Amino acid sequence: MDLISIRDLTKENVKEILDLADGIADGKKKIDLKGRIAATLFFEPSTRTKLSFQSAAMRCGMTYLDFLPELSSLKKGESFADTIKTVEGYADVLVVRHAKEGSARLAADMTAKPVVNGGDGGNQHPTQTLIDLFSIRRMKGKIDGLNVTLLGDLKHARTMRSLVYGLAMFDANVTLISPKGLEMDPIYLKEVEKKFGLKVKLKGEPEFRDADVLYVCRIQAERFADPYEAQSIMKKFRVKKEDLDGTKKDLAILHPLPKINEIDPEIDKMPQARYFEQAHYGVPLRMAIIDYVLRKG
């Protein structure tokens, strides 16, 4: 089985993965994949996704092959297709990250081995979405009925599109807050509304007093023609300590990381800051994913 998009999974599939990850995180479930090999083929930089997949593989008893583009035959002109077809003979599961949208799906079409999408351009990042859902459920005890606010550049952040789909699947209440011109594609929102009945709230100003979960992503300054406009918007949409006055005491602030300056460093020390905990959940969740795709495959 491949995991290329959150759309590849039903609600029942997602619950099965989250339940398995719960068992792993609580020490009640052991995954034994000794003798199996995972290949992490990352054609663009990564810290959390790559290291957590490698950690997950090792904690499952697997070994891993670490593909380094700068030291590979890509430097000699080898194609993406030939790389995939070669590595499939060396590993039992392939985790692929690439800058081009659709690359993970292309890799899956080229091999009978399970392929997990570690992020393909601005398209999909399904394992991050599963980590987000897992984090919310662990922190809040549920997902359905929660008020979840997504704040930042919602046009270009691949994590946000996938997350809206996952939140809609679990009947959360979703509010989207973004600067003008950086709103999430309305076509995508109509698709989610048609499939799940989710009607998101849209705001152009940072305000999240009713939020149970605040999920922040950065404003991508490189997208702006005017650097002064970029700085002004980044300042306006930066979450500061005083912005948490009047919010729920048990507010959970999440972030896919890396964060740059969109969250005041002072917030890191506050109980609302849960993004490092969220990143750590990547290991049990990705252990569950590796086990899941190998079993279903």
Regarding whether 165 and 97 lie in a shared domain, the answer is no
The answer to whether the predicted template modeling score (pTM) of the entire model surpasses 0.85 is yes
The answer to whether position 271 is within a domain reads yes
Q: What is the pLDDT of residue 166?
A: 96
Q: What is the pLDDT of residue 101?
A: 85
The answer to whether position 1 is within a domain reads no
User: Does the annotation mark 29 as catalytic?
Assistant: no
Low-confidence ranges of the chain (pLDDT < 70): 122, 221-225, 297
Q: Is the dihedral of CA 143, 146, 150, 155 positive or negative?
A: positive
Q: What is the pLDDT of residue 125?
A: 87
d(CA 184, CA 202) in angstroms, rounded, equals 10
Q: What is the pLDDT of residue 59?
A: 98
The answer to whether position 258 is within a domain reads yes
Burial class (CB in 10 A: 0-12, 13-18, 19+), 292: buried
User: Does the annotation mark 195 as catalytic?
Assistant: no
Q: What is the pLDDT of residue 46?
A: 86
d(CA 232, CA 197) in angstroms, rounded, equals 35
Q: What is the pLDDT of residue 179?
A: 87
Structure confidence by residue, pLDDT tens digits, 16-71: 999 999 999 999 999 999 999 999 999 888 899 999 999 999 999 999 999 887 77
Regarding whether 50 and 165 lie in a shared domain, the answer is no
Strand partners, 239: 263
CA dihedral of 238, 243, 244, 248, whole degrees rounded to 10: -100
Burial class (CB in 10 A: 0-12, 13-18, 19+), 252: buried
Residues in the chain: 297
Regarding whether 152 and 115 lie in a shared domain, the answer is no
Active-site option among 40, 49, 127, 149: 49
SS3 assignment, position 202: strand
User: Does the annotation mark 36 as catalytic?
Assistant: no
Active-site option among 28, 34, 75, 76: 76
Structure confidence by residue, pLDDT tens digits, 191-201: 999 999 999 99
Q: What is the pLDDT of residue 36?
A: 98
The answer to whether position 216 is within a domain reads yes
Regarding whether 81 and 135 lie in a shared domain, the answer is no
| Helix residue ranges per DSSP H, 141-238 | 158-169, 186-196, 227-236
Domain that holds residue 100: 6-125+281-296
Regarding whether 164 and 37 lie in a shared domain, the answer is no
The answer to whether position 58 is within a domain reads yes
Active-site option among 36, 50, 105, 125: 125
Q: What is the pLDDT of residue 221?
A: 67
Regarding whether 131 and 104 lie in a shared domain, the answer is no
Q: Is the dihedral of CA 108, 53, 267, 129 positive or negative?
A: positive
Regarding whether 264 and 161 lie in a shared domain, the answer is yes
Q: What is the pLDDT of residue 70?
A: 78
Report the candidate in 188, 177, 280, 297 with the shortest Cα–Cα distance to residue 233: 177
Regarding whether 223 and 205 lie in a shared domain, the answer is yes
Regarding whether 203 and 68 lie in a shared domain, the answer is no
Q: What is the pLDDT of residue 222?
A: 65
Regarding whether 140 and 262 lie in a shared domain, the answer is yes
Q: Which residue has the tokens 């995508």?
A: 188
Active-site option among 36, 50, 97, 137: 97
d(CA 124, CA 160) in angstroms, rounded, equals 9
The answer to whether position 143 is within a domain reads yes
User: Does the annotation mark 49 as catalytic?
Assistant: yes
Q: What is the pLDDT of residue 223?
A: 62
Q: What is the pLDDT of residue 260?
A: 87
The answer to whether position 31 is within a domain reads yes
The answer to whether position 94 is within a domain reads yes
User: Does the annotation mark 97 as catalytic?
Assistant: yes
Q: Give the CATH number, domain containing residue 248.
A: 3.40.50.1370
Domains identified in the chain, total number: 2
Regarding whether 169 and 76 lie in a shared domain, the answer is no
Regarding whether 144 and 106 lie in a shared domain, the answer is no
